[in-house]
Amino acid sequence: MEDRNLVVSSRIAPAHLVTFRVGELALNPENGTIIELPCEMIKVRGLSDTTWQCRFYSHQESACLIYEYRPLECRRLKCWKPREVVDLFLKDLISRSMLIPQDNPIWDIIHAYESTFPVKAIMGLALEAKIQADAGRELEKLQMLDHQFRKKVGQIFNMEPTALDFFLGRPVSMIANGI
């Protein structure tokens, strides 16, 4: 909740965020187990999709580029004492509904996306694809449909692809691959 104003004031852009939807799998840092998310979780996007490195840290300057306006997780992070950040897991979260006005037309797209690409269905197909070729082909079709959906939404709303990960959540391929 504390981070809401950082996004609403555009100090942190949607392209710098990624939404993990209800039901996605996530690592619980408290005990190292994989859990199904009970709520939506918005995180700062790392520099790449496969490894996490802070996008706001400048190695050249050895400094945070948004220090005065950094999110709660960053304000609590002490590399030498990570417990405070671990204790934040699934607490004091913001959601898209707190950041996007309810009359914004993007909500129609978000709802259409949620019903077309439900997390549980994606995860179920991903599990089946490990043992059934038909499910693998179905998952590939779903990934292609997701790619087309995102491309069209990006064109309609003149949005960069990374901003779509905030508005729509992570792509089907990332959810299916567990990354």
Distance CA 102, CA 88 (A): 27
In the chain, which residues have pLDDT < 50? 80
The alpha carbon of residue 73 and the mean position of all alpha carbons in its chain are separated, in whole angstroms, by 15
pLDDT of 139 reads 93
pLDDT of 29 reads 79
Q: Using CA atoms in the order 97, 101, 105, 111, what is the torsion angle rounded to 10 degrees?
A: 10
77: tokens are: 């992070």
pLDDT of 84 reads 66
Q: Contact, 145 vs 115, CB < 8 A?
A: no
pLDDT of 83 reads 64
pLDDT of 64 reads 85
pLDDT of 149 reads 97
148: tokens are: 């087309």
Q: How many domains does the chain have?
A: 1
Distance CA 27, CA 145 (A): 28
Q: How big, in percent rounded to 5, are the helix, strand and coil portions of the chain? A: 45, 10, 40
Nearest to 41 by CA among 28, 22, 15, 69: 22
State the pTM of this model. Answer: 0.69
pLDDT of 80 reads 47
Task: State pLDDT tens for residues 15-65.
Answer: 899 899 999 988 887 788 888 999 998 888 887 776 677 888 888 888 888
pLDDT of 55 reads 84
Domain of residue 41 covers: 4-177
pLDDT of 78 reads 57
